[in-house]
Amino acid sequence: MSAGSENPIKSQAEDTLERSDAAKHLADELRSLDASEGSVVALLGPWGSGKTSFVNLVREHLAATSEVPILDFNPWMFSGAEQLVDSFFVEIAAQLRLKDGKLGKIADEIDKYGELLSPLSVIPFVGGWIDRLGKAGKSLKNFQDRRKQSVSIRRKELATELAKLEVSIVVVIDDIDRLATAEIRDIFKLVRLTASFPNVIYLLAFDRKRVEQALSESGIEGRNFLEKIVQLPVNLPAVPQRTLLRQLGSEVNGVLKEFGEIEPFDQDRWRDLLAEILLPLLHNVRDVKRYAASVRGTVRGLKGYIDLGDLLALEAVRVFLPDTFAAVEQAQVALTSPAPSSSDRDYTRERYKEVVQTVIESSGDDRGVVESLIRRVFPAAGRHIGSNTYSGEWSTTWLRARRVAHVDVLSLYLERVVNAGLAAFVDGERAYALLGNGDELDRFLHSISPERQEDVIAALEEWEGEYPAEAVLPGTVVLLNLLPVLPEREQHTLYTTDPRLSIVRVVLRLLRMLPSVEAVEQLVEGSWTNIRTIDSRAELVRMVGHREHEGHKLVSVEAASSYERRLGRDFIESSADDLLADRDIVHTFHVMSRLSDVMISELEVLSDPRIVRELLLHSCAETRSQSMGNRAVHKSPRLMWDSLVGFFGSDERLYAAIDAMKSALTTDEKLEKVLVLVDKYRTGWRPRDFGSDGNEA
């Protein structure tokens, strides 16, 4: 076969399987056969093993040393026993005339003999028969005259002419195994009918198992029937493993070169995948061609997202073990779930084990291949078949290596859609690569849609302990400056996790990469003015300080105290515009009340109606509750009223600030809802601690 195509080869120049010598031996055998009473040679090989290519090599060798007429009969062009017999003789006669004018008399005799045989199994004078004769330009009278002559006489005359030939005629009938069962039987009836003519050699190419099965369905023993017809069975030479491996390398490398260098690719692990999964499923060159064609489309869509070795192994399963592939699709969780920690009970073990066994049982005779697939590609499931046990810590390793052992990567391969988890990890990987370049990192993180930023930043935790020292300062500044713009969750309540935690967790891990207290203090000093908002600076001070349950004691006590004093001064000096840059001004005020001695109620900015508005909006949250046995979720808005009063120093000052804000600003729908709630609080109403019926406490 030619590279990149399943079409048969035409000459020795294309023979990559080194079969030319074997084809020459068969050509020599055909020339030397005693065909005085005809002969039938069968070239046997499974479907896809290259029989047609081998026949073409035989043709080339026959043509090189002799003038053996080689005639082809394509059974695919005809259907039904009657049409097959009639067409066979017409086709053979026509080809003989084209091959050599000297064979014209034999062609005439074949034509006449064929006409006698054709109607034996049909009723003369039926419309279709007359139409066919009419198309051939032969009158009904001529047909009747010829029909009166004895078939045996015509046969003897044809045999006499054939016996005069100095060389035998080779009639090739290929692709027999692709025919329907009834058509296969018809072909062999035709061969049996005509096989005894002198100097006629049939070269039949077929899959023995398929043909024997088709012949047996007619009530006869297929193998015995073949043995009575075929005088010389020739098995197609097996493709040596080294040749198949070379062909595989040529085809797959040719595909991969189209896409340049592909990463990730664990070449050491690939050797095991190749030997235990791919090679056992390849039996012939057609398998290699099918596989390479499949790989091309999959690599085009998934390169860079999945380890190339995993991708190549799973493609082999998809192409050659479709039942197993379907089972894998149904077993994603069982195949990718690591063992729970030793302190947790493994409630799913038996269920997952049963699912994994279903995958193995789907493989039929290829059980060993699928067991290797589980051990090599889905190691988390290996514990269910007596292999190693992997804990949950391995999930991060598999994800970073883009292995389908992680459920998000397997989902991508099966669904061709990058889910949110994997998309965040991929972008997190890019962010990690940019940590040392503050400007590039900032541009990249801002290019991500706001609703995905939190997940991407959280993905940076996967590189904990590997952050380069030079990335700590720029990474810390960029991430802390994202705090004001990181969007709130869609349904923010008093019990919703603050998305800012994703930034805080990564920054803390960055700071822990520094070797000493002095290094952290130097970072705080160097980053202070580059961190733009009070809230962001407060997070840094809180993290490195010594406040109980808040600080991680990354700097000295003296330095922590100085940072808090400096932060307090910055807070007092902040304009309303400065504070409005914070994402959650209520959070900022709460943090500053803990970290500094600043009297918030004395801040001049509290007279700014915009500050009052933001304090009201950010102090409003929503609680949710459910009654026992009831699926309905009750929602209840509430205000951080005590905090607001504390910020302003008294109820009266709070009321006055709210009234001034209402007079100074145009209210919108969101603020109107909050003001309705404010009015309830001003009357003394308070929500209950539990429930949502709106009654006073």
What pLDDT is stored for residue 671 in this prediction?
93
Q: Is the pLDDT of residue 627 over 70?
A: no
DSSP state of 50: -
Q: Are 130 and 75 within 8 A, CB to CB? A: no
Do the domain assignments include residue 392? yes
**Dmax (CA) of the chain:** 129
Tell whether 325 and 408 lie within a shared domain: yes
Residue 586 falls inside a structural domain? no
Are 185 and 216 found together in one domain? yes
pLDDT at 83: 57
- Among 265, 312, 269, 306, CA closest to 291: 312
Provide the token pair at 368. Answer: 């060993």
The 3-state DSSP class for residue 232 equals strand
How is residue 104 written in tokens?
A: 């014209």
Instruction: Kindly state whether residues 134 and 168 are assigned to the same domain.
Output: yes
**Mean pLDDT in residue range 365-393:** 95
pLDDT for 608 beyond 70:
yes
Per-residue pLDDT at 68: 78
State both tokens at 215.
Answer: 């012949």
Mean pLDDT over residues 613-640, rounded?
Answer: 78
Taking 50 as the threshold, does the pLDDT of residue 477 lie above it?
A: yes
Residue 689 pLDDT level (bands cut at 50, 70, 90): low
So what's the pLDDT on residue 121?
A: 40
What are 44-88's pLDDT values in tens digits? 998 878 899 999 999 999 888 767 788 888 877 666 555 566 667
| N-to-C CA span, the chain | 85
Residues 157, 21 within the same domain: yes
In this prediction, residue 169 carries a pLDDT of: 86
The pLDDT of residue 690: 46
* Residue where a domain terminates, one of 418, 449, 468: 418
Q: What does the pLDDT average to over 464-475?
A: 94
- CATH classification of the domain holding 75: 3.40.50.300
Q: Which of 183, 191, 193 is nearest to 215 (CA)?
A: 183
- Measure the CA–CA gap between 373 and 314, rounded to whole angstroms: 8
Share of the chain above pLDDT 90, in %: 57
- Which range has the worst mean pLDDT, 236-240, 401-405, 490-494? 490-494
Same domain flag for 193 and 95? yes
- Structure-model confidence comparison of residues 558 and 168, the more confident one: 558
**141 in any annotated domain:** yes
Q: What is the pLDDT of residues 242-294, one digit of tens each?
A: 888 888 999 999 999 999 889 899 999 999 999 999 999 998 888 998 999 99
pLDDT tens digit sequence for 497-511:
677 899 999 999 999
Q: State the amino acid at position 179 in one-letter form.
A: L
Res. 491 pLDDT band, cuts 50 70 90: very low
pTM exceeds 0.75, yes or no: no
| Stronger pLDDT, 360 or 156, i.e. the higher one | 360
Domain boundary among 369, 396, 418: 418
Residues 335 and 388 in one domain: yes
Local confidence band at 645 (pLDDT 50, 70, 90 cut-offs): very high
* Domain edge (last residue) among 418, 452, 484: 418
Q: Check whether 119 has a pLDDT greater than 60.
A: no
Question: What are 658's two structure tokens?
Answer: 């709210």
Q: Spell out the residues 6+ positions from residue 26 whose beta carbon is closer than 8 angstroms to its own.
A: 41, 43, 54, 58, 234
In a domain, 3, yes or no: no
Q: How many domains does the chain have?
A: 3
Contact 16, 247 (CB under 8 A): yes
- What does pLDDT average to over the chain? 85
At residue 39, does pLDDT exceed 90? yes
Residue 406 has pLDDT above 90, yes or no: yes
What pLDDT does 64 receive? 84
Q: Is residue 566 part of a domain?
A: no
Q: In the predicted model, is pLDDT for residue 598 greater than 70?
A: yes
Same domain, 254 and 342: yes
Q: Are residues 215 and 273 in the same domain?
A: no
Claim to verify: residue 208 and residue 285 sit in the same structural domain: no
DSSP state of 391: B
- Residue-level pLDDT at 127: 39
What number of CA atoms fall less than 13 Å from residue 179's CA on the CB side? 27
Looking at the predicted structure, is the pLDDT value of residue 673 above 50?
yes
CA-CA distance, 70 to 85, in Å (whole number)?
A: 19
Average pLDDT (84-97) is: 68
Q: Which pair of structure tokens corresponds to residue 303?
A: 């390169």
Residue 521 has pLDDT above 50, yes or no: yes
Question: What was the pLDDT predicted at 558?
Answer: 97
Residue 694 has pLDDT above 60, yes or no: no
Model pLDDT, residue 81: 56
The answer to whether the beta carbons of residues 408 and 425 sit under 8 Å apart is: yes
Range(s) of the domain holding residue 397 = 241-418
Query: Which pairing describes strands 620-625 and 634-639: parallel, antiparallel, or unpaired?
Result: antiparallel
Asked whether residue 93 falls in the same domain as residue 196, the answer is yes
Kindly indicate the confidence band of residue 229, based on its pLDDT and cuts at 50, 70 and 90: very high
pLDDT at 420 over 70: yes
Closest to 182 measured CA to CA, from 307, 94, 82, 253: 82
276 shares its domain with 348: yes
Residue 95 phi, psi (nearest 5): -70, -35
pLDDT value at residue 76: 76
Task: Provide mean pLDDT across the span 384-389.
Answer: 93
User: For a pLDDT cut of 70, what percent of the chain falls above it?
Assistant: 84
Helices vs. strands in the chain: H and E counts, helices first: 34, 7
Between residues 86 and 523, which one has the greater pLDDT?
Answer: 523
pLDDT for position 132: 45
Whether residue 166 is predicted with pLDDT greater than 60 in this model: the reply is: yes
Strands 232-235 and 39-44, by their bridges, are: parallel
Confidence of residue 399 (pLDDT cuts 50, 70, 90): very high
328-364 pLDDT, tens digit per residue, is: 999 999 999 999 876 556 678 899 999 999 999 999 9
- Answer whether residue 482 is part of any domain: no
pLDDT of residue 286: 85
Is residue 289 a part of any domain in this protein?
Answer: yes
The residues that bridge with 421 in the sheet, in sequence order, are: none
User: For residue 213, what pLDDT band results from cuts at 50, 70 and 90?
Assistant: very high
pLDDT at 170 over 80: yes
Categorize the per-residue pLDDT at 632 as very low, low, confident or very high, splitting at 50, 70 and 90: low
Q: Would you state the torsion angle of the CA atoms of residues 174, 239, 169, 232, taken in this order, to the nearest 10 degrees? A: -100
Residues 128 and 257 placed together within one structural domain of the fold: no
Rounded Cα distance, 294 and 299, in Å = 9
- Residue 71 is assigned to a structural domain of this protein: yes
